[in-house]
Amino acid sequence: MLLLFTLISINGIAQNKKVSNIFFRTIGDKIEIFYDLPQNADTIDVKVFFRKKSDPKTRYRLKQVSGSIGIGRFSGRKKKIVWAYKKEPPYLFTGSGFYYEITAKKVSSIQ
């Protein structure tokens, strides 16, 4: 599985907020994904998707994640998402050209 993740590239796609400086590292049975968001006081909804260049229709939202993901205030540098990839369905890891898509949307305030 380690070889598989040395082939992954990272793609940051932001909606409403610019995701930048995305990188990752494998630590045991987890992958740490880091990203930057501009400084602000907004509440953001951050999501991460697993994608495949070999199958462009594949867009799997990672479920076994923790850290700076979901709804919260995540602006700043080196925000970390921890992905327990071995707990995800094994069929995801067939094919080639794997990458991540990170979205960051401002959450509308409810008055």
State pLDDT tens for residues 13-61.
444 568 888 888 999 999 999 999 988 878 899 999 988 888 889 899 9
Instruction: Kindly report, residue by residue over 14-24, the tens digit of the pLDDT.
Output: 445 688 888 88
Would the pLDDT of 86 be above 60? yes
Would the pLDDT of 82 be above 90? yes
Distance separating alpha carbons of residues 74 and 87, to the nearest angstrom: 25
Q: Could you tell me if 74 and 46 are in contact, meaning their C-beta atoms sit under 8 angstroms apart? A: yes
Torsion of CA 24, 26, 45, 90, to 10 degrees: 120
Confidence (pTM): 0.79
**DSSP letter string, 14-59:** -SSS--EEEEEEEETTEEEEEEEE-S----EEEEEEEEETT-TT-E
Class of 2-106 in CATH:
mainly beta
Q: Where are the domains of the chain?
A: 2-106
